[in-house]
Amino acid sequence: MKQISNKKYEAYQQYQTDMLHGRILTPDGLRVLCASLDNDPEKIGKHMLEIQSVSIRLRYLQKVSAMKNKPDCSGSGRRTDGIQNR
């Protein structure tokens, strides 16, 4: 039996997680979205851009939050990643 690589398996797990949390737009989801916006291309485009910008902001805030919670391992007591401890 053929096995897949760890990288492909991790990508598949990420896809399943994204699907579970609604980050993958399905054809049915697209139909509902278009119907709710009266099939107006301008409204649909504007909505998609707004959603994308929110998603990008959330990912950035998660990354910054993770960096702030990262322990200092240099031994000097100072952070080397440019973020000040508070």
Whole-structure pTM value: 0.56
Q: Residue 65: in which H helix or E strand, if any?
A: helix 41-68
What does the block give as tokens for 21? 């949390």
**Largest alpha-carbon pair distance within the chain?**
60
Quick: pLDDT tens for 62-80. Answer: 888 888 887 655 555 555 5
Confidence of residue 22 (pLDDT cuts 50, 70, 90): confident
Better-predicted residue by pLDDT, 52 or 78: 52
Residue 31 has pLDDT above 80, yes or no: yes
Q: Residue 1's pLDDT is what? A: 66
The predicted structure's pLDDT at residue 18: 87
Average model confidence (pLDDT) for the chain? 84
Find all residues with CB under 8 Å of 3, minimum gap 6, and list them. none
